[in-house]
Amino acid sequence: MKTFTGQILILLSLAILALSTGFQSLAAPEPAPVPSRWQLDLRPGPLRIATVVDETGLPHTYYYLTYDVVNNTGEDLFFAPSFELTSEDGEIRSAGKGVPTVVTNEMLTRLRDPYLLDQITMATSGELLQGEENGRSGLVLWPAEGLKVDEIKVFAEGFSGETRTVTKPDTGESITLRKSLMLVHETPGEITGRGDRPLVRISQRWILR
């Protein structure tokens, strides 16, 4: 009886180990602890919301974020950043999509920073030269749809050269993941009526996606 019980325990242990190994293999890979390729110094500002009147004369609400970036990599680099925003509805929204030019210009005027670049100007400004004196400041915006959300994530790409090719376990397809900075914000309940107060950022870390 003891031998039989011992065999059962061994089989259960092996099953748990197998499940654990399977879950680990499905877990998203993490970036290298020390950057393995070039990485720019990204300094994101807070995520805020603003109401702006568009060209039709109607008010609309937008998320916006400013950031600074400095090239301390030791070489001049081509720089084409991109930002995406997601909430619990799962929809991925690219920065600038659905944002009229008049709205972007209004926000640039409100923020009163002569060095602040909109997304298009930032992407077409050529190489990012080395050094603090050559750093740039950028503005990104998204239409704010569904203002009753509990969490908002922003993903910033184009600030690191680290990539990794992985195989999807369900299809066998090879995909390339890129190192991105993930900013997670807590937004319980309705987020309107908060003026220019920033949304609460609960975490900021590099991931592969």
Domain ranges (residues) in the chain = 31-208
Q: Beta strands 116-117 and 136-143: pairing type?
A: parallel
Query: Which tens digit of pLDDT belongs to each residue from 14-29?
Result: 444 444 444 334 456 7
Rounded-to-integer distance, Cα 188 and Cα 44, Å: 22
Query: Which tens digit of pLDDT belongs to each residue from 93-142?
Result: 999 999 999 999 999 999 999 999 999 999 999 899 999 999 999 999 99
What pLDDT, on a 0 to 100 scale, did the predictor assign at position 12? 46
Which of the four CATH numbers 2.60.40, 1.25.40, 3.90.1150, 2.40.50 does domain 31-208 have? Answer: 2.60.40
Sequence-separated (6 or more) residues with CB below 8 Å from residue 109: none
| SS3 state at 109 | helix
Select the more confidently predicted residue: 104 or 33. 104
| SS3 state at 26 | helix
Give the side-chain half-sphere CA count within 13 A for 66: 14
DSSP string over 119-137: HHHHHTS-EE-BSGGG-EE
Bridge-partner residues for 141, per DSSP?
64
Rounded-to-integer distance, Cα 125 and Cα 127, Å: 7
**For the whole model, what pTM was predicted?**
0.82
